[in-house]
């Protein structure tokens, strides 16, 4: 499959936020809670990945947990 074969409509799939909002508008609260938890887990995982990448790519920088004298 070539990227030129993708249509613009193929790239418009609803995300987690959209699905959470849709669930809220139709008062489907269990799905709203699932969406909120999913967004939280994705945010935590993204922050942890960025932290790990940052620590591995900037090993020369001092870290806050080290004893600086």
* pLDDT tens-place string over residues 47-66: 999 999 999 999 888 877 65
CA-to-CA dists, residue 1 to 6, 7, 11, 49, 65, angstroms: 8, 12, 14, 30, 48
Q: What is the pLDDT confidence band of residue 37, given thresholds at 50, 70 and 90?
A: very high
Is 16 in contact with 43 (CB distance < 8 Å)? no
pLDDT of residue 14: 87
Residue-averaged pLDDT of the chain: 85
> What pTM does this model have?
0.69
22 has pLDDT over 60: yes
- Residue 36, Cβ neighbours under 10 Å: how many? 14
pLDDT of residue 13: 78
């Amino acid at each position: 499959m070539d990227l030129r074969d993708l249509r613009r409509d193929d790239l418009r799939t609803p995300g987690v936020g959209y699905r959470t909002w849709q669930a809220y508008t139709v008062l489907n609260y269990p799905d709203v809670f699932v969406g909120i938890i999913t967004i939280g887990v994705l945010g935590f995982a993204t922050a942890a990945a960025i932290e790990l990448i940052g620590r591995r790519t900037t090993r020369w920088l001092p870290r806050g947990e080290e004893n600086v004298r």
